[in-house]
Chain A
Amino acid sequence: VSHYRLFPKALGRLVAALGVRELHLTLTQGFWRTQAWGQPPLQAPPGAELWVWFQPTVTNIDKAWKELSNILSGIFCASLNFIDSTNTVIPTASFKPLGLANGTDHRLLRYAVLPREVVCTENLTPWKKLLPCGSKAGLAVLLKAERLFHSSYHSQAVHIRPVCRDASCLAVSWELRQTLTVVFDTFSSGQGKKDWSLFKMFSRTLTDACPLASQSKVYVDISPKNKEKELLEVTPPPASLHEAIVQGDKRTYAVYDLLSPSLFNTSRSLNVQLKWKRPQDSSELPTPILYAQRYVSGYGLQTGDISTLIYNTHPYRAFPVLLLETVPWYLRLYVHTLTIVTKGKENKPSYIHYQPAQDRRRPHLLEMLIQLPANSATKITIQFERALLKWTEYPPDPNHGFYVGSSVLSALVPSVIAMKDVDVEQSPLFASLFPSSDGSSYFVRLYTEPLLVNLPTPDFSMPYNVICLTCTVVAVCYGSFYNLLTRTFHVEEPNRGGLAKRLANIIRKFRGVPPL
C-alpha cells in the first residue's frame, strides 16, 4: 500500500510489515438485546474481539500475532496486549475470509476475544483519527463522545480486507471499513415518546460532507410495519427512497445525500427528525429467524454446566449452524458430557472439532456443525470443573469472577423473501454490509452472552503461613523418622538414688506396701 491519501498510514504500515491479509477488530460495550432491538446489522461480542488472517508468506505466525496485538493496543489505547496464547484459538471452520482469498489454510487464522475489556472515550478518539476527515467534516462531526457513550450499546469496529479494484479484478486494493453501532435509549429519556432527531441524539447537526468523500449519505429506515402507511413522518422530506432486502426483510430507506447541492438550500444544517403519527403501544419487532442464548448453571465452586440454546424460528426450512466456543483453560470441559438435544431427541453434529486446553497455555476450542430443524429450539450442554489457580494468577478482584468469552454462531440463514443481487456501484453500503451470494440466504454471525464464573479462591493473606506450616509437618515427619532410625537402646540399671524416693520408700515400709 503506497497511497496514503485516504487510508490511514498507521494501519497501512502495520498491514504491510506484519503480512496481514485480513484484520477485524471490534470493541464493544454492552450486549445486543435481540429480543428488544431485533436482529443486529453486525453483531459484536462484548469486550474486544480480534481475528486476523495472515499471508501465507509469514513464517512465524504466533510471533506476528503477538506483535500485531501489541501494536493495535497502542493504536487504539485498548489493552489488547492481554491477548496471548491463553486466549487465542485457531478455528478451523468458523471464520472464513471476507475478502479475496486464494486458499484457506486455517493455520493462518488467529482469533482472540477479551470479554473483560471496557470501551471508553479513549478508544473512540483514535478510531475517529483514522477517518480521512477526522471528526472535523462530514458525518463524523456527529460523533461526540459524551453523547455516544450515553447509550445502551456501543460498538466500534475496524475491518481491513483485500478487494478487487474494479469489476475485472486485475488489481487488488485494501478496503478499510470502520463501523460504529450505537443504541440510544431515547424512549426512556425522551418523555415516553419515540420521536428522535439528530440534534437530540448527537447534540449536533450535519453541515457539510467530507471533501475527500466520493459518497456521503444518510439512510433512515422508514419501513412500514404491518403494511400501514403514514405511520411516521420524516423531516426534512428525503430526496429519494431506497428499497433493499436486508436480512430477509423488505426495508425502505429515506436517503439524504450530503453531496447533492439541493440538500443545504433551505437551511445550512441538516437535522433529520422522525415523528410518530400515532402513539405506539407496543413495539412489535419481527422475531429473528436465528437467535441464541447461553448461560451457566450448577451450584457450588466445583462443577458447572454451560448451556447454549439456539432457536430456529423459520416455519419450514432447516439449516445448519456452526458453533464456536472458546473456554479458558481453568474451566476444564468434559467432552463426554456434551449433549445436544433438539425437540426431545438427541441431535448428533455432523462435524466436531475439539481441541482440549492445556493448563496455562491454550484454551478449549469446540467447533460443531449442528443441523437445526425448522421451528425448533436446540440445547447444547457441556459440564466443566473449576480449577484452583495459583494465588498470583487471580485478577485484583478475584471474587468478581472470571469471564468466558461469547460463543460465535455462523450460519447461512434462508430468507423468507427472495433477494436480488445488489449493485456495488449504486449502494456500496448495502453491498458490503449485507452481501448475498445467492438470492435465497444471507450470512449471519451471532454472538451469545459472555459468562461470569466464580472460581474457588485460596486465602490470599497466607502464603508465608502456608509455607511455614507445611514445612513444619514435613519436619515433624522427618524428625520422627530420624528418631526412629537413629535411636539406640541402652539397658539402664535401676537407680537407687533420689532423696524423695528413699523417703517415699520408708513411708511405704510403714504402710506395708511394696517399695518403689
Chain B
Amino acid sequence: VVEGLSLLDLGVSPYSGAVFHETPLIIYLFHFLIEYAELVFMITDVLTAVALYLAIQDFNRVVFKKQKLLIELDKYAPDVAELIRTPMEMHYIPLKVALFYLLNPYTVMSCVAKSTCAINNTVISFFILATMKGSAFLSAVFLALATYQSLYPLTLFAPALLYLLQRQFIPVKLKSKSFWLYTMQYASLYLCSLVVIICLSFFLLNSWDFIPSVYGFILSVPDLTPNIGLFWYFFAEMFEHFSLFFVCVFQINVFFYTIPLAIKLKEHPVFFMFVQIAIISIFKSYPTVGDVALYMAFLPVWNHLYRFLRNIFILSCVLIVCSVLFPVLWHLWIYAGSANSNFYYAITLTFNIGQV
C-alpha cells in the first residue's frame, strides 16, 4: 500500500506495475491514515471483535428462542437433554468469540504485519452483524464492499440470503413467490451497491486500470510468492500447457461448494456461513493467516457440538506444530537454502484445514 501511495505521488498510475493490487478505496483511505498505521490496524481488529460480539449475541438470542419454542412444542427427543443449551452457558459465548478473535496468535501476527486482510475481516464481520440484525440493505452494502476488495465473499451471498429468509419466516421453496421476490430484492440491493462502489473507484482514479490489477490478479494468479496456501507451488511447477486449465479448476473449486452446502444446510445458515468462510480461507488464491483467524473466532458458537468432533487432539496438535514450523521452514529455505522445505509448508497446513 505504501508503494501504491508513493507511485501515486510520483504521478504514475499505481496499477501500471505489478506490485500493487489493492483497490482504489484503500489507497484513498490510507492516504489520510498512513501516519497512524498501527493505530488503524488495532482499531480495525477491535471493531471486528465488537462486531462479532454483537452478532453472536443476537444469534444466540434467536437460537435460544427457537429452542424454547421447540421445547414447548415438545419436538425434541428425551435423550437430547444434555444437548439443550442453557442461558447461563450461552451468556458467555459472545465474549468468548470476541476474545477468541482478539487473542488468536494469527490475529496478532496479522495486526503486527499491518496486512490489509484485517480490513477485509472487519468488513466481513460488519456484514455478519448486519445480517444477524436482519437489515437487508446494510448487509448487501457490506457484502458488496467485501466482494469489491477480494472477489471471494461473493459466496457468502447464499448463507446471508438464507438467514434473512429465515428471519422473515419465508420458507425456502423453489415454487414460492415470496421467496423469489425477496431473493430478487436482496440481489438487486447487492448488485446496485457493487456497481456504485466500482464507479466510485473509477472516478477516484479516472481509469479502469484497477480492474485487471485487482480482480485479474486474484483470478489468474500470476504472482507466485510463497504464502500459506496451495496454489503457489503448484503453479510454479506446472507444465505451461495446462496452466489455464488448472487456474480455472482452482477458482471453480472455491465457488463450487456453495450450492451443495446451501441445499444441505438451509436450516442452519450461520453454520453455513462459517463453513463458507473456512472454504474461502483455504482455497483462495492468496490466503493469509488473518483469514484463518476469522473463522477460528467462530468456534465457540458451537460449543455444544464439541463432543462430536473427531480427532480433536490430533488436529489441534497438527495445527500448532504447523504454525510453529512455518517460520522455521521459511527461514531454512530462504536464508539457509534447503529446497524442499517450503513444499512441506504448503502440504501440512492444508491437510489439517481440510480435515477440520
A binds B: yes
Q: Which residues of A contact B263 (CB under 8 A)?
A: 485
Q: Which residues of A contact B224 (CB under 8 A)?
A: 387-390
User: A469 near B3 (CB under 8 angstroms)?
Assistant: no
From A334, A358, A477, B354 is in contact (CB under 8 Å) with A477
From B7, B236, B354, A388 is in contact (CB under 8 Å) with B236
Shortest distance in angstroms between B157's beta carbon and chain A's nearest beta carbon?
Answer: 19
**Which residues of A321-365 have CB atoms within 8 Å of chain B's CB atoms?**
329, 332, 334-336, 352, 354-360, 364
User: B343 near A476 (CB under 8 angstroms)?
Assistant: no
Q: Which residue of B lies closest to A390 (CB)?
A: B236
Q: Which residue of A lies closest to B260 (CB)?
A: A485
User: A480 near B16 (CB under 8 angstroms)?
Assistant: no
Chain A interface mostly helix, strand, loop or mixed?
A: mixed
What total of A-B pairs shows CB separation below 8 Å?
119
* Cα distance A456–B333 in the bound complex, in angstroms: 8
User: B5 near A336 (CB under 8 angstroms)?
Assistant: yes
Query: Is B253 located at the chain interface by the 8 A CB criterion?
Result: yes
Query: Is B234 located at the chain interface by the 8 A CB criterion?
Result: yes
User: B237 near A466 (CB under 8 angstroms)?
Assistant: yes
User: B237 near A391 (CB under 8 angstroms)?
Assistant: yes
Query: Is B37 located at the chain interface by the 8 A CB criterion?
Result: no
With most chain B CB atoms within 10 A of its CB, the pick from A299, A357, A469 is A469
Q: Which residues of A contact B257 (CB under 8 A)?
A: 481
Q: Which residues of B contact A173 (CB under 8 A)?
A: none
**Which residues of A418-452 have CB atoms within 8 Å of chain B's CB atoms?**
none
Shortest distance in angstroms between A66's beta carbon and chain B's nearest beta carbon?
Answer: 21
- What 0/1 readout, one digit per residue, does chain B (236-279) give for beta carbons within 8 Å of chain A? 11111000000000000100010011011000000000000000
* Cα distance A336–B233 in the bound complex, in angstroms: 29
Q: Which residues of B contact A485 (CB under 8 A)?
A: 260-261, 263-264
From A302, A355, A463, B239 is in contact (CB under 8 Å) with A463
* Cα distance A267–B342 in the bound complex, in angstroms: 73
Q: Which residues of B contact A466 (CB under 8 A)?
A: 233-234, 237, 343
Q: Which residue of A lies closest to B353 (CB)?
A: A477
Query: Is B10 located at the chain interface by the 8 A CB criterion?
Result: yes
Report if A335-B3 is in contact (Cβ < 8 Å); known contacts: A299-B335, A391-B237. yes
User: B6 near A358 (CB under 8 angstroms)?
Assistant: no
* Cα distance A201–B337 in the bound complex, in angstroms: 46
Shortest distance in angstroms between A147's beta carbon and chain B's nearest beta carbon?
Answer: 42
Query: Is A462 located at the chain interface by the 8 A CB criterion?
Result: yes
Query: Is A474 located at the chain interface by the 8 A CB criterion?
Result: yes
User: B237 near A474 (CB under 8 angstroms)?
Assistant: no
Q: Which residue of B lies closest to A333 (CB)?
A: B19
Q: Which residues of B contact A299 (CB under 8 A)?
A: 335
User: A301 near B237 (CB under 8 angstroms)?
Assistant: no
Query: Is A170 located at the chain interface by the 8 A CB criterion?
Result: no
- What 0/1 readout, one digit per residue, does chain A (54-76) give for beta carbons within 8 Å of chain B? 00000000000000000000000
Query: Is A297 located at the chain interface by the 8 A CB criterion?
Result: no
From B19, B237, B264, B346, A463 is in contact (CB under 8 Å) with B237
User: A473 near B17 (CB under 8 angstroms)?
Assistant: no
Q: Which residues of A contact B16 (CB under 8 A)?
A: 355-356, 358
User: A459 near B339 (CB under 8 angstroms)?
Assistant: yes
Q: Which residues of A contact B150 (CB under 8 A)?
A: none
User: B334 near A359 (CB under 8 angstroms)?
Assistant: no
User: A467 near B225 (CB under 8 angstroms)?
Assistant: no
Query: Is B86 located at the chain interface by the 8 A CB criterion?
Result: no
Q: Which residue of A lies closest to B331 (CB)?
A: A300
From A357, A469, A470, B18 is in contact (CB under 8 Å) with A357
**Which residues of A127-152 have CB atoms within 8 Å of chain B's CB atoms?**
none
* Cα distance A466–B239 in the bound complex, in angstroms: 11
Q: Which residue of A lies closest to B20 (CB)?
A: A356
Query: Is B287 located at the chain interface by the 8 A CB criterion?
Result: no
Shortest distance in angstroms between A196's beta carbon and chain B's nearest beta carbon?
Answer: 47
Query: Is A392 located at the chain interface by the 8 A CB criterion?
Result: yes
Query: Is B137 located at the chain interface by the 8 A CB criterion?
Result: no
Report if A334-B3 is in contact (Cβ < 8 Å); known contacts: A459-B339, A466-B343, A476-B351. yes
User: A336 near B2 (CB under 8 angstroms)?
Assistant: yes
Shortest distance in angstroms between B205's beta carbon and chain A's nearest beta carbon?
Answer: 16
* Cα distance A432–B239 in the bound complex, in angstroms: 53
* Cα distance A329–B236 in the bound complex, in angstroms: 16
Q: Which residues of A contact B282 (CB under 8 A)?
A: 477
Shortest distance in angstroms between B3's beta carbon and chain A's nearest beta carbon?
Answer: 5
Q: Which residue of A lies closest to B239 (CB)?
A: A463
Query: Is B115 located at the chain interface by the 8 A CB criterion?
Result: no
Report if A334-B19 is in contact (Cβ < 8 Å); known contacts: A354-B12, A356-B7, A387-B223. yes
User: A302 near B339 (CB under 8 angstroms)?
Assistant: no
* Cα distance A318–B299 in the bound complex, in angstroms: 67
* Cα distance A387–B18 in the bound complex, in angstroms: 11
* Cα distance A352–B7 in the bound complex, in angstroms: 11
* Cα distance A364–B18 in the bound complex, in angstroms: 10
Report if A335-B10 is in contact (Cβ < 8 Å); known contacts: A388-B236, A390-B236, A476-B351. yes
Report if A392-B253 is in contact (Cβ < 8 Å); known contacts: A470-B233, A473-B347, A476-B354. no
* Cα distance A459–B346 in the bound complex, in angstroms: 14
From B238, B261, B333, B350, A390 is in contact (CB under 8 Å) with B238
From B240, B334, B355, A456 is in contact (CB under 8 Å) with B334
Q: Which residues of A contact B347 (CB under 8 A)?
A: 469-470, 473
User: A301 near B236 (CB under 8 angstroms)?
Assistant: no
Q: Which residues of B contact A179 (CB under 8 A)?
A: none
Write the residues of chain B forming the contact surface with A, with a CB cutoff of 8 angstroms.
Answer: 2-3, 5-7, 10, 12, 16-19, 222-226, 230, 232-240, 253, 257, 260-261, 263-264, 282, 333-335, 337, 339-340, 342-343, 346-347, 350-351, 353-355
Q: Which 6 pairs, one residue from A and one from B, show the smallest C-beta to C-beta distance? A: A356-B17, A336-B6, A477-B354, A463-B237, A300-B335, A466-B237
Write the residues of chain A forming the contact surface with B, with a CB cutoff of 8 angstroms.
Answer: 299-302, 329, 332, 334-336, 352, 354-360, 364, 387-392, 456-459, 462-463, 466-467, 469-470, 473-474, 476-478, 480-481, 484-485
Other contacts beyond A299-B335, A301-B335: 17, CB < 8 A: A301-B334, A332-B19, A356-B7, A356-B18, A358-B16, A358-B18, A359-B18, A359-B223, A360-B222, A390-B224, A391-B237, A458-B237, A462-B343, A470-B233, A481-B257, A485-B263, A485-B264
25 A-B residue pairs with Cβ-Cβ distance under 8 Å, sorted by A, are A302-B334, A334-B19, A335-B10, A336-B3, A336-B6, A355-B16, A356-B7, A356-B16, A359-B222, A359-B223, A458-B233, A458-B343, A459-B237, A462-B237, A463-B239, A466-B237, A467-B234, A467-B238, A470-B346, A473-B230, A473-B350, A473-B351, A476-B351, A477-B353, A485-B261
